[in-house]
Amino acid sequence: MHIQKDKVVSIDYTLTNNHGEVLDSSSGREPLAYLHGNGGLIPGLEKELEGKVKGDKLVAIIAPEQAYGLRTEELVQEIPLKNFHDASEVKVGVQFQVENEHEVRIATVTAVGENSATVDMNHPLADETLHFDVEVMDVREPTKEEMEHGHVHGAGGHHH
Ligand code: ZN
């Protein structure tokens, strides 16, 4: 079975940056399972996996534009400390999730002033060229429920 839209794909992967540092890996864990063509993976990696079959191995080098995007200064914002639930926990390096109606972003505190904090909402992997070492472990049809939810259930997928 070939990887195409709406197949459930399981992959083992190691992600490294341009310097060969390992950023993430499925090693020692369940393979990552996702519903192909539904935004579960970064677009560049889904494109590379298209048409592959179980057992295929590939190395995919993904430019930032096809991964987590380029850094933008618009995503660096000054936020009044009174807007935080607990201002005493706002320290340089602390990360938290910010949600709007479109997406969830990881925000990192980069400076703390007397009345406000500077928060960087660029993805931690923005500007990075990503090197994926991937092995396709499985390709299967989704269940009816997985199709309705738009994501994978069970091992390696969502639990709810
Ligand atoms: Zn679900």
* Residue 158 in domain: no
**Total domains in the fold of the chain:** 2
Based on the domain organization, do 21 and 36 belong to the same domain?
Answer: yes
In the numeric block, which tokens belong to residue 119?
Answer: 């928060």
Full-model pTM: 0.77
48 CA from centroid of ligand 1 (Å): 25
Q: What is the CATH number of the domain that holds 88?
A: 2.40.10.330
Give the distance (Å) from ligand 1 centre to CA of residue 159: 7
For residues 12 and 59, membership in a common domain is answered with yes
pLDDT for 140-158, tens place per residue? Answer: 999 999 999 988 997 666 6
Identify whether 109 is part of a domain. yes
For ligand 1, the distance from its centroid to the CA atom of residue 155, given in whole angstroms, is 13
What range defines the domain where residue 95 resides? 73-120
Cα 160 to ligand 1 centroid, rounded to whole Å: 7
Asked whether 76 and 118 are in contact (CB, 8 A), the reply is: yes
| One pLDDT digit (tens) per residue for the chain, 160 residues | 999 999 999 999 999 999 999 999 999 999 999 999 998 899 999 999 999 999 999 999 999 999 989 999 999 999 999 998 888 889 999 998 888 777 788 899 999 999 999 999 998 899 999 999 999 999 999 999 999 998 899 766 666 6
